[in-house]
Structure formats: C-alpha cells, structure tokens
Structure 1
Amino acid sequence: MTTIYHNPRCRKSRETLQLLEDKNEDLNIVKYLENPPSKEELKDIIKLLAIEPIALVRKNEQIWKDQFKGKELTQEEVIDAMIDNPKLIERPIVVKNNKATIGRPPENVLSIL
C-alpha cells in the first residue's frame, strides 16, 4: 500500500497522484487538509523523510509569515505549528514500505516504489 498525503488543489500533488496511478500503485489517498495526520504520524513521516521538521514547512504560506517567521522555534513547536495548521505541511508526501519522499518534483516518488 502506498499512501499519498494529497491536496487536490495543488498541481504538484495532482501530478504525483497521476504518476502513482499510472504505475498502478495500490493507493491510500489522505486529503491531509481534511484529515490531518496526528502528531505521532507526522513525527513518523518526518523520521522516514530523514529531515528536520522545519524542512517540511511551507514557509511561503501566510500563516507562517504572520505567526512564526523569525521566531526561534523548537522542533516540537514546528511540529505543533503544522498540526495546528496543516496547510503548512509540504505536499505531496508519499509513504511506502517504511520509506517516504516529497513529490517535488513528482518523479521523486519513483525512488521509493
């Protein structure tokens, strides 16, 4: 099973989903703005991505600029910001077999299939 954390309004997310469908992947599509990951799920995703939480933040979002930009945040505070504001989570994220990647560009997902 391949899970994609998907935002249908995002072109890169749609392109990544199409690529996965073209590869006939068995998909679990999580519309993360409607069904955000739990804090533990997000921590697990970050661990699989092997990145710092701040690397998963969409820093151009107005919420980030207004509430968090320029502040010294701990990793926990960054994770909490994403949990409270799922729009801040970079997309799309694809998880398969204890591996994860961000589909930017969409072809990145080929490395974990």
Structure 2
Amino acid sequence: MTRWIESRIGDITLRAAGAALVVSAWYEAQLLRHIQLSGPAQASLRELGLAAILFLSTSFGLALLILGHHIGDRITLSDRWTRRFPSRPQPSRRPSDRQERG
C-alpha cells in the first residue's frame, strides 16, 4: 500500500495547499503595502513579523506548488558534496605526552 502523499489525491492536495499559500502571500503583501503607506518610514515589529510570514508563505507555497508529492523525495549526493570526516587521532603511547597532559 502506498502512502497517501504518493497518491494522486495527495499530490493534488499538496499542490492546492501550495496555491493557497501563494494566494495568502498576495493578500499579506497587499496588507503590508497598506500598512507601510499609511504609517511612518520605520518598520515596527508587526510589520517585520508580517514580512516574515509573507516570505515563508511565498517560499513554502511555491515549493509545494512546484514539487507536489515530490517534496519528500530522497536524493543522492555525489562524493564532491558529502562531508568527509578525518580519521580520529590515535592517543599517543609515549610516556612523555601522558605526563604533560596529566
């Protein structure tokens, strides 16, 4: 059995949610524009919060709208982009090093 997100209904649901977020971002942008034109030139905490919500709505909305059910796909990275951890340094067996640390 497939997960609901991989079904056609799940794909349409995710894309519709993305479209709803983009539409809400348009309304948020209009509200922010209205607030900015009617008030002082300095941004208040309310305006900054609204701008952050606008950014997140646009970003997540476009990601869901474009990718749909592929939003959770696993990808493989080439060796060039993976992190290589250096080997752990081995503890010294020389007695002089042990005495300096102790």
**TM-score, normalised to structure 2's length?**
0.21
Highest CA radius of gyration, 1 or 2?
2
Counting helix residues as a fraction of each chain, which structure ranks higher?
2
Return the structure number with greater strand share.
1
TM-score of the aligned structures, taking structure 1 as reference length: 0.20
